[in-house]
Structure 1
């Protein structure tokens, strides 16, 4: 196994920079840099020197011995002063060492998975945690990283293995008198797992929305204040505003954090009939994005004014509150009137939807769980036909177990690994 190294903190000037080394030669490298043999597990302040004896930096040196480390291998971390020159000098020294090579993206985490320190779902949780921008994304990623999805999968797998063993025992002793009918216990086990899988699969879509962000489209006729409202929500001039109808031709997107949820606000072209070819394309694009959005804010006197179907949960706000006599339920991006109320309504609507999110967060998870549940439903149906079908039941249970094992990366995921780990930085 190669010994690898990489800068584990962001490149550029900083107070501290961390260089990570993992592999069988990690502790030897520390000994050569410091002139002292490191403890198997320790934290000491040492002067680092190159092969020519030049002083590189004073560093806090942390050492971990296999298997009690992140990767499951011997690890050393060099906590340096975060000067670009210092980091470059240390990395140059390590690059010249024939025992070492630069880590590939995500290679530290990949070794952690291969050495049984993380399952694949936890790896995905770690990637999500690194990318998390909001509190809801952080909490969701932490739950996956903590192994909650893996624990669920292991419980389901244990129940299915128990059911399969009961079925297999009945098959093996088919020519003998089996004192107990295993069917009731097997039915209970399969029904319980199937119910859990269905519930968790249903929550993936909303969990994925939390992970990637919700889309909220502002829709309405031209000149009702959509772009001005977007600018007010964004706190900056994100969209061009004017008194001329048809100013917005493309979708303007603004990413923001609303009550801990990642939300992309969409300013769409005013919906109207037009002979202008470019504007007509913008109107068609606006309709399409409005249909796809998770939530729509209608700026209109009534929903009948807009050629987009009003869905349950959508929000209707009356436009231009600053120029109205009746300001109830109205909003003005120009003066800010009603903006706080709108933000609260959007936040409440998205929080309510987020409540249905499960622990599983990715389409891959949903597919694996639905594949397992399809096999279970088939097995339950076959089970009702009696002992003559038990061999087929056993095969369906094996299929379900393999699907659950793919959920946490035990089988059938090799083609996914390169893509998943490529999203990590070098130091992870």
Structure 2
């Protein structure tokens, strides 16, 4: 357990009505008490709040019980006061870090915050590192590693779906799932290890048939959790949507229509967009990150060429591709060639037949029929007629984007949103499959035990039962200071 006492601003930087400074460590109450003019905090009960002043000099004289029933309106004699505050006292072990903790609520001035932190440090505390409060909660057994990560996810949640997922993980959702899997595997691993102790007697304690059944069940559960990551990643981080097409196809006009504001410059001059423009739009609770790109064409303009290269890079990272075409400036074969060049199974492509306002009504003309006959069913695409200029078809496009998320939804109660968890589950699945192969191949008990240990270790990485300082440092360094 850490012996030093840490402090940090827990609220956002900047001016606000109230700011809060957190202090945690065995000496936290004693240190704050040195600079608090009011009740003697060392005699205060846990989970109580006290009115007083933070002062710049250590208090040596007897304290004044400020604002009790007898002297509520009296002005106390103060030693270089910094601010009028409320101080909350929390005694171990019933605190977030399981250590003695204090929270100081002050008037939300950055200067006041700086002054209070200075006097706390002068009296024995030190500034906390990023995520150090949460790391102490983890190291002291208050929460596991996946719960610690869910705290960061909860703070960063930008929509209702991501909030619910993060809260479920904070309540131990994924930990409970993994604990059940590990518990069953651990029982069999213990029996396999026992067989190693009696290798000379050639006895079998672990029923191989029952182990196969368990492994199959474990494999199905792991695959289900892994499959939930695509949906979890979408609701947590949003979905990248690349808007692609030839110059003057109406890409910037479409972005403006989606955002309902003039975000991108619109011009009849081909090649206006040289760099990518990115904006986020929430559709039914999910963040879609729209990326307006340079028109794709052969060009001798060096700057435009860089823009075209960036556009192609965005296609590679996007999950959804909106390809705009204008039939007066394109041929079906050009669209078909483009789709064939960039198509991949994990990319949803939506073809947008733009400028239908120039066609006296639209749908299913020869141009689009030619696309359908050439692309379907080998390429999964959808064709929507729009007029980006008149905002026709925009709602149909939004519905199609929303349906993409609905198709990702899973029946799993626990949804994986963390890349580290996803990779650990994949490694666990590989190990489980190796154990299955080992049983089928009748390999030695020693090798079987070896593979089972790996499966357990990878599962344990998620909750933090197996980890190292480098992993912990990487995880908690991404937290804000004060959390």
Q: Could you tell me the TM-score, scaled by structure 2's length?
A: 0.81
Separation in 2 of the partners of 1:378 and 1:13?
Answer: 57
Aligned partners of 2:56 and 2:82 also within 8 Å: no
Q: In structure 1, the residue corresponding to 2:417 is in which secondary structure?
A: coil
Task: Say which of 266, 271, 296 aligns to 1:246.
Answer: 271
Deviation at 1:80, TM superposition (A): 1.8
Separation in 2 of the partners of 1:40 and 1:424?
Answer: 31
Aligned to 1:16: 18
> Structure 1 stretches of 5 or more lacking a match?
none
- For each residue in 1:218-245, what CA deviation from the matched residue of structure 2 results, as whole angstroms up to 9, or x when unmatched? 1222212110110122233222110011
Count residues with an aligned counterpart. 426
Q: In structure 2, the residue corresponding to 1:314 is in which secondary structure?
A: strand
Aligned partners of 2:8 and 2:22 also within 8 Å: yes
1:5 correspondence with 2:19: no
Aligned partners of 2:275 and 2:293 also within 8 Å: yes
Alignment of 1:144-159 (within 5 A): 144-159=169-184
Separation in 2 of the partners of 1:110 and 1:69?
Answer: 14
Alignment of 1:313-332 (within 5 A): 313-328=348-363, 329-332=384-387
Alignment of 1:57-68 (within 5 A): 57-68=83-94
Q: Between 45-54 and 417-426, report the one with greater CA deviation.
A: 45-54
- For each residue in 1:59-82, what CA deviation from the matched residue of structure 2 results, as whole angstroms up to 9, or x when unmatched? 332222222111111111112222
- For each residue in 1:309-332, what CA deviation from the matched residue of structure 2 results, as whole angstroms up to 9, or x when unmatched? 356742222212443311454323
Q: In structure 1, the residue corresponding to 2:339 is in which secondary structure?
A: coil
Aligned to 1:381: 437
Aligned to 1:70: 96
Q: Between 248-257 and 396-405, report the one with greater CA deviation.
A: 248-257
Aligned partners of 2:54 and 2:85 also within 8 Å: no
1:418 correspondence with 2:473: yes
Alignment of 1:7-406 (within 5 A): 7-32=9-34, 33=36, 34-37=38-41, 38-52=43-57, 53-97=79-123, 99-173=124-198, 182-300=207-325, 301=327, 304-306=333-335, 307-309=338-340, 313-328=348-363, 329-355=384-410, 359-386=415-442, 389-406=444-461
Deviation at 1:112, TM superposition (A): 0.9
Separation in 1 of the partners of 2:196 and 2:441?
Answer: 15
Root-mean-square deviation (CA, aligned residues, Å) is 2.5
Deviation at 1:107, TM superposition (A): 0.9
Separation in 1 of the partners of 2:204 and 2:353?
Answer: 73
> Structure 2 stretches of 5 or more lacking a match?
58-78, 364-383
Q: Between 108-117 and 194-203, report the one with greater CA deviation.
A: 194-203
Deviation at 1:83, TM superposition (A): 2.9
- For each residue in 1:11-63, what CA deviation from the matched residue of structure 2 results, as whole angstroms up to 9, or x when unmatched? 11111111101001112234331342353422323112315423333333222
- For each residue in 1:139-165, what CA deviation from the matched residue of structure 2 results, as whole angstroms up to 9, or x when unmatched? 222222222122222111101111112
- For each residue in 1:267-321, what CA deviation from the matched residue of structure 2 results, as whole angstroms up to 9, or x when unmatched? 1222333343433343343233224310112222586443233567422222124
Separation in 2 of the partners of 1:221 and 1:161?
Answer: 58
Aligned to 1:409: 464
Separation in 2 of the partners of 1:180 and 1:84?
Answer: 66
Deviation at 1:180, TM superposition (A): 7.2
Which one has a bigger Cα radius of gyration?
2
Separation in 1 of the partners of 2:120 and 2:202?
Answer: 70
Separation in 2 of the partners of 1:95 and 1:414?
Answer: 26
